Structure 1
């Protein structure tokens, strides 16, 4: 396992294997704080190269953070689960030096479909974004 994962509980095999190969998450410096079935916490320190032309964190990178927490939470067993869709609402801008934390929680999982909510907060705990992901479990296994 890479140094990206700090704590793992439950099965988590699929998400841990997925994160070991996730080059985008590694490039962004994402840190997996918690990896449990239906629940994940991932953090990211905002760097200069993560800002847009207004000197605030690029929304696509906030989305990437939330999407990664979602992916970990929904890959609960050895069946590969992917995003079927997602929406995000940006609530507060952030800047270089801040640490963002995304917490994903399963809301429902029925058959091959799931719904997961992700809240992104800054280091003060203030909400930065709210993300809702819809998952689809495939027939593939790890």
Structure 2
């Protein structure tokens, strides 16, 4: 199995059980080892009292994308901690795209950068996620 095949299988298995990301309206895009892309169209129910996308919704998009990237090796992995900087507001109707890229992985720990942009390429947020592998896998792999 290639690393891309493993990533696609792991992310498919995770997506099948991920009710939260679906509830938000996120869509899973391309995945590869240590990398994932997700999108979300900002709807009225995503907006706060300032008529902009709620920061928690943007964080959720970045966090879900991070989760798919750090689980791409079929090793169950969770967030150890995250930090996010909001750079521009998301607005109703915007299509937000989050891209997570692995920067470092060793042992049970990893570091990922996640960039959220809108349809015009404007950076909405930057997040850094630190992951921690836990026991378990997302799907059964055949061993030779």
Decide: shared fold, TM above 0.5: yes
Match of 2:64 among 61, 68, 79: 68
1:22 partnered with 2:14: no
Alpha-carbon RMSD across the aligned residues, in angstroms, is: 1.0
Aligned position for 1:3: none
For structure 1, the residue ranges without an aligned partner over 5 or more in a row are 1-8
Higher strand share: 1
Q: Which runs of 4+ in 1 moved over 4 A?
A: none
1:87 partnered with 2:61: no
Deviations 1:52-77 (A, max 9, x none): 01100000000000001100100022
Match of 1:31 among 13, 27, 32: 27
For structure 2, the residue ranges without an aligned partner over 5 or more in a row are 139-144
Deviations 1:97-126 (A, max 9, x none): 010000000000011000000000010001
Larger Rg: 2
1:107 partnered with 2:103: yes
Aligned position for 2:141: none
Range with bigger deviation, 95-104 or 15-24: 15-24
Aligned position for 1:10: 5
TM-score (norm 2): 0.89
Higher helix share: 2
Residue 101 of structure 1 aligns to a residue in which SS?
strand
Residue 141 of structure 1 aligns to a residue in which SS?
coil
Paired with 2:18 and 2:100, the residues of 1 have a C-alpha distance of 18
